[in-house]
Amino acid sequence: MATTVDEPETAKRGKYATLLDPALWTYIDRVNAWYPPGMDLPVDKQRSVYDAMCRAFHAGFPAGVEASDGTVAAGSHAIPIRRYQLAGKAPQAMVVYYHGGGFVLGGLDSHDDICAEICADTGFAVLSADYRLAPEHLHPAAFDDALAVFE
């Protein structure tokens, strides 16, 4: 059964109005309520909004997932990491997860439940990396951290 989108919504959403699933539009609308397109704030304020949005979206951990924090040494600094694993089960593989946020926003907490879900759904261990963010740390700092965690 197809779901229809009413005329005002179609006009507002343009050519994508009927191409995306209604549940995805609900998610997009929820994100835009927190962090509307075109929001022009200093980086520290953007981070506050993004972190608050991620806390509001946080779904918690699926049963059986355990997380532990640590660091990876990288030259003159340590990169915070969080490892997710199913309790009592040896993982067959590991996923290295680099959080979203355009290399400016986010961290271990912003995508915490997503990493736990990946772990629960695959049975793989997940290693989340809290790479250095711009603009405080210029390119290629985030990439260097990502590679150090991967290696």
Q: Give per-residue pLDDT as tens, 6-32.
A: 555 666 788 888 888 889 988 888 888
Using pLDDT thresholds of 50, 70 and 90, give the confidence band for residue 130.
Answer: very high
Verify that 115 and 94 share a domain, yes or no.
Answer: yes
Q: Which residues form the domain of 101? A: 65-150
Establish if 145 belongs to a structural domain: yes
CA distance readout (Å), 51 to 58, 109, 131: 10, 8, 16
Verify that 41 and 71 share a domain, yes or no.
Answer: no
Verify that 105 and 42 share a domain, yes or no.
Answer: no
- pTM of the shown model: 0.81
Residues with Cβ within 8 Å of 105's Cβ and at least 6 positions away in sequence, in order, are 46, 47, 50, 51, 133
Mean pLDDT of the region 100-124: 95
- The residue whose two tokens read 């997710």 is 84
Q: What element of type H or E holds 77?
A: strand 77-86
Give the pLDDT of residue 15: 82
Structure tokens at 84: 């997710």
Verify that 127 and 70 share a domain, yes or no.
Answer: yes
Verify that 17 and 52 share a domain, yes or no.
Answer: yes
Verify that 141 and 82 share a domain, yes or no.
Answer: yes
Is the distance from CB of 37 to CB of 113 less than 8 angstroms?
Answer: no
Verify that 40 and 93 share a domain, yes or no.
Answer: no
Domain count, the chain: 2
Using pLDDT thresholds of 50, 70 and 90, give the confidence band for residue 52.
Answer: very high
Give the pLDDT of residue 40: 83
- Among 27-36, 49-58, 93-102, 120-129, where is mean pLDDT lowest? 27-36
